[in-house]
Amino acid sequence: MSNTTPLTSTPRVRRLSILGTLLALAVLLTGCQTTAPNPGGDIPSTVVGLTFIPNIQFAPFYIADSAGFYTDEVAISLRHHGAQEGLFTALEIGDEQFVVAGGDEILQARAQGIDIVAVASYYGQYPARIIVPESSSITSVADLKGQRIGLPGKYGENWFALLIALKEAGLTEDDVTIMEIGYTLQAALTTDKVDAVIGFANSDALAFAKAGFAIRAIDPKVPLVSICLGATSVYVESHPEIVQAVVDAMKRGMQAALDDVEATLTIAANYIPDFRDETLATARIVLPATTMLFLGEDGTTVSPPLRPADWTAMARAMESVGLISAGTDESTAFTTTFSG
């Protein structure tokens, strides 16, 4: 998930008392707690899938778990399912009840017959960026014509963003050379194997800056919905109170992460293995950049409401490049019930 997006300062006054409590709770944790306490055993439990490996970008969920934000209504477990498992596999078989995934990924999955519905936004802004050396003549999407573009592969948000950005600039795949380079974006760009890479504002672009390689990060401003919290429609309809509890707790964790970076890093250390030295130094940079992505257009609201117009615009854009079939009904891929 997720340049040199300015890391503007954010007011931290309102919830410092919450973060103080969180910090106290964090130091009491031993090891990587993944399940909130359920002493009575009489409240429902649910699993949130955070994909892949523990990462500071999931800090709001770690905060919510460590502080017991969920425990009045539901016992929550957090699950990282690793890179070898499909994004929605555990959701489909019932091992997870929620999953964090791109709105575009959710729409594509829905179009392919997978029962998945976005219930709230996680990123309020789309993180994909076209990253080029600062000395490059590429300053816009149109300038990619004739250039070599590297990305992990022809899947996921990097790929979606590139296809639609090219389309909106009047270009096609034939106008560029697309190179699938795995997760070697930094090496490929710094050694001139490619002219540009498609990365994320809160990870790849920061890695270049940290390494001392000057870049320009171009926001393609594609009409795609970014990271969301999703669940199956069956679960949403059967357990609306749990869905609302999880969404509310996620938002509280997001605001807490935005309000106090240092307290959040302390909590994250109980969830991310070997969270020290270089890993901690990187997280200290990535976390503020990530929390900026939580915000909506007003620059203050975390997890902004899902807007039908955004999903319609995304569906038409994805149809135009063949990512979903024509006539896909995007209205079934999200609900505004819990995100207002």
Q: What is the pLDDT of residues 218-234, one digit of tens each?
A: 999 999 999 999 999 99
Helix orientation angle between 16-28 and 59-67, rounded to the nearest 10 degrees: 80
Indicate the residue among 218, 245, 268 that finishes a domain: 218
- For 88-144, the pLDDT digits (tens) are 999 999 999 999 999 999 999 999 999 999 999 999 999 999 999 999 999 999 999
Instruction: Evaluate if residue 40 carries a pLDDT over 50.
Output: no
Average pLDDT along the chain: 88
Residue 280 lies in a domain: yes
Q: In the listed set 218, 252, 276, which residue is the last one of a domain according to the structure?
A: 218
pLDDT for 13: 29
User: What pLDDT score was predicted for residue 44?
Assistant: 84
Distances (CA, A) of 222 to 10, 60, 73, 179: 26, 26, 38, 21
Mean pLDDT of 52-65: 95
Residues 285, 323 share a domain: yes
Q: What is the mean pLDDT of residues 145-173?
A: 97
Q: Tell me the residue range of the domain where 166 lies.
A: 128-218
**Is residue 239 domain-shared with residue 119, that is, in the same domain?**
yes
Q: Which of 185, 218, 251 is the last residue of a domain?
A: 218
Of 241, 234, 225, 192, the closest CA to residue 306 belongs to 225
Token pair listed for 302: 């975390």
Average pLDDT over residues 24-42: 40
Residues 242, 119 share a domain = yes
Number of H helices, E strands in the chain: 12, 10
In a domain, 5, yes or no: no
Asked if residue 159 and residue 116 are part of one domain, the reply reads: no
Higher pLDDT among residues 74 and 10, named by residue: 74
How many structural domains compose the chain?
A: 2
Tell me the CATH number at 69.
3.40.190.10
